[in-house]
Structure 1
Amino acid sequence: MIKYALLCEHGHPFEAWFSASTDYDEQRARGLVECPICASREVAKQIMAPAVSGTKRTERAPDPAKVQSMMMQAARAVRSHVEQNFDYVGDSFAREARDIHEGRSEKREIYGEATPTEVKKLKDDGVPCAPLPPAPPEPETVN
């Protein structure tokens, strides 16, 4: 088996396995190799370093501080989007979410507070809901 790094005409990178090196050429000529993202059949091999049996690949662990910073930035962005675009309904979230789900209230995106018991009942009844990430501390206050 041989693995090729491939690139479609739209710049989408992907990998594919072939039984032999000639299989890629034959399958590409028959239009059987296509990009899994956009379905383009204009695909070319990328330059790859050969895989040498017995060599040890070392991967660096991501920097924990960088990962934490990225996660906090993502949580901040999600929370900001919800606060700017959804209706705040306070502690009547469970009732309002149920009313929207059952068609008794206008369909709209909401957020608010609910007890763990209320959330469990909503989920048990098929009412879609998810916790909002807590407001992360500002970057300058984190060690």
Structure 2
Amino acid sequence: MIRYALACDHDHPFEAWFGSSSDYDDQAARGLVECPFCGSTAVSKQIMAPAVAGTKKRDATPDLGKIQTMMMQAAREVRSHVEANFDYVGDTFAREARDIHEGRSEKREIYGEATPAEVRALKEDGVPCAALPPALVDPAKAN
């Protein structure tokens, strides 16, 4: 299979796949290659870089330590953002989330504590909620 960058005489760019370069030539000569935007069959190939597989061997094993470090940093950033921008409501989270959802309390972003049963009940009733990543020790502050 070969992919060509094409354009019609109205300068509409598009791509198309062909079994071989001769397949493109044959179909274009018979007027079978047409612009998907305007239907013009006056189509020509455009300059494009070929997709060539590299010769360098790539390490198939991901760096799990690096991935874990990135994930922990992301979790810290999420928690930090929530703590800085959301209202902490403590152990009244389930009641307050339900009140906000049902319009009995002002709409705002909150966080707090809830039991697994409370979270299940909120989700069953369509009240949006999600677990906050746990507070992680900053590696720079760990001994």
Range of TM-score over shorter length: 0.5 to 0.7
> 1:62 and 1:17 mapped to 2: Cα distance?
34
Shift of 1:97: 0.2
Shift of 1:48: 1.8
Greater share of residues in helix = 1
Counterpart of 1:30 in structure 2 is 35
> 1:44 and 1:105 mapped to 2: Cα distance?
60
Residue 48 of structure 1 pairs with residue 54 of structure 2: no
Residue 116 of structure 1 pairs with residue 116 of structure 2: yes
Percent identity of the aligned residues? 60
Deviations 1:53-74 (A, max 9, x none): xxxx855222111011100000
The 1:114–1:45 alpha-carbon spacing in structure 2 relative to 1, beyond 3 Å, is farther
Letter in 2 for 1:105: S
The 1:122–1:48 alpha-carbon spacing in structure 2 relative to 1, beyond 3 Å, is same
> 1:109 and 1:139 mapped to 2: Cα distance?
29
Shift of 1:30: 2.1
Counterpart of 2:99 in structure 1 is 99
SS in 2 for 1:75: helix
Letter in 2 for 1:19: F
Which segments of 5 or more consecutive residues in structure 1 lack a partner in the other structure?
7-15, 33-42, 52-56
**TM-score normalised by length of structure 1:** 0.66
**TM-score normalised by length of structure 2:** 0.66
Deviations 1:22-70 (A, max 9, x none): 49xx7x98255xxxxxxxxxx974442159xxxxx85522211101110
Counterpart of 1:126 in structure 2 is 126
The 1:130–1:18 alpha-carbon spacing in structure 2 relative to 1, beyond 3 Å, is same
Counterpart of 1:82 in structure 2 is 82
The 1:44–1:138 alpha-carbon spacing in structure 2 relative to 1, beyond 3 Å, is farther
Aligned residues: 115
> 1:44 and 1:87 mapped to 2: Cα distance?
56
> 1:105 and 1:95 mapped to 2: Cα distance?
10
Deviations 1:85-137 (A, max 9, x none): 11110000000000000000000110000000000000000000000000122
Residue 18 of structure 1 pairs with residue 17 of structure 2: yes
Which stretches of structure 1, 4 residues or longer, exceed 4 Å deviation after superposition? none
